Chain A
Amino acid sequence: MSRKLLLNNIHVEGIHTYDVYRKTGGYAAVEKALKSMSPDDVVEEVKKSGLRGRGGAGFPTGMKWSFIAKPEGVPRHLLCNADESEPGTFKDRYLMEKIPHLLIEGMILSSFALGCEQSYIYIRGEYMYVLRILEKAIAEAYQNGWLGKNIKGSGYNLDLSVSPGAGAYICGEETALIESLEGKRGNPRMKPPFPAIQGLWQRPTVVNNVETICAVVPIVNEGGDAYAQIGIGRSTGTKLISAGGNINKPGVYELELGVSVEEFIYGDQYCGGIKNGKKLKACVPGGSSVPILPHYLVCKTAEGNDRLMSYESLADGGFANGSMLGSGGFIIYDEDQCIVRNTWNFSRFYHHESCGQCSPCREGTGWMEKVLHRLEYGHGKMEDIDLLWDIQRKIEGNTICPLGDAAAWPVAAAIRHFREEFEWHVKEPNACTTRNYGLVKEKVFEKVNA
């Protein structure tokens, strides 16, 4: 059984209340940091731990923190990105709902490290009930002196508040999140300037994912070096994976990075295999925006090595034969699922969520959705497949924010790996509305001679 750092006390009765959380060793990290560490020590520990951003991009957190500008007399801000809206990802909700004090403890530590006196948790509008849980927990933390003026006599002040969005996916992009928090329309900003220089109200700002901030707590408790021991290579620590789709045991799992994908899908302590004994068809390992993997690339890489749950191993093979760990939304498709329909579904989501600021994404996402809809319902043409490829190619990389890329990659990967199935939808317009294509043929990889 893999070690748990965030979810180890999740099943303790009443862990969402302050008293129980404190009894199970909560807020020990804040005590330790405020008593015996300087803010730079905390940053140093996080750097040593090798913690990487858990929101999707996997950028080293310690490095991100060291980029923050520190001009005299200008307040800095820490924002927690709880706008978790990626289809397939539901790990942050689980954390905030079950163990809200962990996030608050992480926020105190991270704010202390960055020297912020006002921090915000930006939560998506649909998580209104989670917001209430968090607000209750914050009130408890204020009552017990963990927030407010002069925390536990250390002289450090911190105010923390929760701010709901209105349920837009784009507000999970850090600059759009900042705009939204300022009360404006949630359009991503042009970079540079980066938020670390000019963020919320033009002040230096760091935006981190919920899970990243929670992971700071065990790092401070056990030390950065101990945290770096867990995991594999540059993927250190544990990661929450929200598994869904056609598996026996969907849910949120915490695992040490480096567990093999095969074990994760078929192992009894994790997903427990494919439902109803069906065969695996495809897998989206990191939320809807990462490339989809066909069955022959899920457990093995193109070179034939075992694929592991880690940033590097999932990306092995680049975009042609690999994918990304992303935000950890692990979706499994069995042989009965239709990839065209799934791609259309994702595409519909990105069309709906595009902010409409820059033209390739605004117009391209809608166009892709319409073409995919046509293909799915048997009205497509052979040229449509090449058209889709061309549209995604012209969106990718040409937009202001990564939403354009996120909309383009699933379409690109689906056509790359499941082209036969798209063609079948054109050739058999009647059959494709009543039954599914089934498994795709395994591609034989040619060995590239160096």
Chain B
Amino acid sequence: MSEQIQKITVTIDGKTVEVDPGTTILNAARQIGGEVVPPAMCYYKPLKGSGGKCRTCLVEVSKGSEKDPRPMPKLVASCSTTVMDGMEVKNKSSERVVDARKGVVEFLLINHPLDCPVCDQAGECSLQDLAFEHGADTSRYEFKRREFDKIDIGEYIKLHMTRCILCYRCVYVANQLTPNREHGILKRGDAAEISTYIQNSLDNEFIGNVIDVCPVGALTDKTFRFRSRVWYTKPMDASCDCGKCGGKAVLWMIGNEIARVTARKDQYGEVEEFICNDCRFNKKDLKDWNVEGPRKISRHSVISTNHYEKVAPAHTPLLNKA
């Protein structure tokens, strides 16, 4: 019965990899790793149906497949296009892709407030990384940016819609992790906004995960807001006995205090295991946790700059006030 699954080969930027049929170009690229991986702002592997919206992962297919070697006329979204046997894909080696991606970054930034100096997401923001790597130095946009009022959507979560890039990830989280449809998109076009039913809050045991999946600082943790920059905190792997979730989390420490708790994310910023609200917002005492050791952070990440140094007292007054 052990039927061998026929692997298919795909070449991305000259690097060949064998993958299972039905894999998307993006996931094939992730199997190769490194430079060939297209950036993704809306695709999120654990969430079914996500992807295809941000258009940052556009790639050029220079050869359709072994059977039909014609190139695809348009750039395709690598997160939602499945590979064919013998497909050849160009990511960074294609000028069209680099140009289109630059355009997409510019589009994403024209209505983004660029308030990184006061944004809690700064340092672990996908949009920051994307703009740094693929964007232009200056913006050609000279008009008023889109603005929304900040909304409290529950006890723990703050929605700052102005920063949102409408990746729909949080909508998928609310639809797929929680029993009720909690929130969605209102209006359309560039007036579209994430919102709950009128004046409703998001209260569900797993709704805190919308903070983790948000690629920008639109959804932030109210228990951590303005307490510290992420690069002043030390991430530690920890686990706890939790009846609701797996209890595997990362504690972001300032000294011996837990500043915030998040789920563990892989190198592409995707959550490995979703955690419950209890673990995220309420267990802020070290006694609740079984600390496993320091979290490995990419050497190039801004978070690692201060990783094992003692937090200087100069950075803590805000904490004392709170």
Which chain A residues have a beta carbon within 8 Å of chain B's beta carbons? 168, 170, 185, 190, 351-360, 362-367, 370, 387, 390, 393-395, 397-400
Residues on A with C-beta less than 8 A from B103 are: 360, 390, 393-395, 398
Q: Contact check, A364 vs B107: say whether CB atoms are below 8 A apart.
A: yes
Q: Tell me if B47 is interfacial: C-beta within 8 Å of chain A.
A: no
Q: Specify which chain A residues have a CB less than 8 angstroms from the CB of B106 in the assembled complex.
A: 394
Residues on B with C-beta less than 8 A from A363 are 107-108, 110-111, 190
Contacts of B53 in A (CB 8 A): 357-359, 400
B77 contacts A351, C-beta separation under 8 Å: no
Instruction: Please state if A185 and B108 are interface contacts (CB–CB under 8 Å).
Output: no
A359-B54, A359-B165, A360-B55 known; A190 vs B80 contact (CB < 8 Å): yes
Q: Which residue of B lies closest to A370 (CB)?
A: B143
Report the tally of A-B residue pairs with Cβ distances under 8 A.
Answer: 92
**B100 neighbours in A (Cβ, 8 Å):** 394, 398
- Across the interface, name the chain B residue whose C-beta is closest to A396: B74
Partner of B190, one of A185, A366, A397, A398: A366
Contacts of B51 in A (CB 8 A): 190
> Could you tell me which B residues sit within 8 Å of A by CB distance?
51-56, 58, 73-75, 77, 80, 99-100, 103-104, 106-108, 110-111, 140-141, 143, 165-166, 168, 184-185, 187-192
Which chain B residues lie closer than 8 Å to A357 at the CB level? 53, 166, 168
Return A376 CB to nearest CB of chain B, in Å: 15
With a cutoff of 8 Å between Cβ atoms, the chain A residues found around residue B141 in the complex are 367
State whether B77 touches A190 (Cβ < 8 A). Answer: yes
Mostly helix, strand, loop or mixed at chain A's interface?
helix
| Among candidates A168, A170, A394, residue contacting B107 with C-beta atoms closer than 8 Å | A394
Please judge, given known A-B contacts A362-B166, A367-B141, whether A354 and B188 are in contact too, CB under 8 Å: yes
| CB–CB A362/B52 < 8 A | no
User: Taking CB as reference atom, which chain B residue is nearest A367?
Assistant: B110
State whether A397 and B189 are in contact (beta carbons under 8 Å apart), knowing that A363-B107, A387-B140 are contacts in the complex. no
Nearest-CB residue, chain A, relative to B143: A370
The 9 closest A-B CB pairs, nearest first, are: A394-B103, A356-B192, A363-B107, A354-B189, A190-B52, A366-B190, A397-B74, A356-B189, A370-B143
Q: Is the CB of B104 within 8 A of A398?
A: yes
CB <8 Å contact, A356 and B55: no
Indicate whether A365 sits within 8 Å of B189 (C-beta atoms), given known contacts A359-B165, A360-B55, A360-B103: yes
Which residue of A has the minimal Cβ distance to B79?
A190
**B22 vs chain A, min Cβ distance (A):** 12
Q: Could you name 16 residue pairs across A and B whose Cβ atoms are closer than 8 Å?
A: A351-B190, A353-B189, A354-B190, A356-B185, A356-B189, A356-B190, A358-B52, A358-B55, A360-B55, A360-B103, A363-B190, A367-B143, A370-B143, A387-B140, A394-B103, A397-B74
Q: Which of B51, B75, B190 has the most CB of A within 10 A?
A: B190
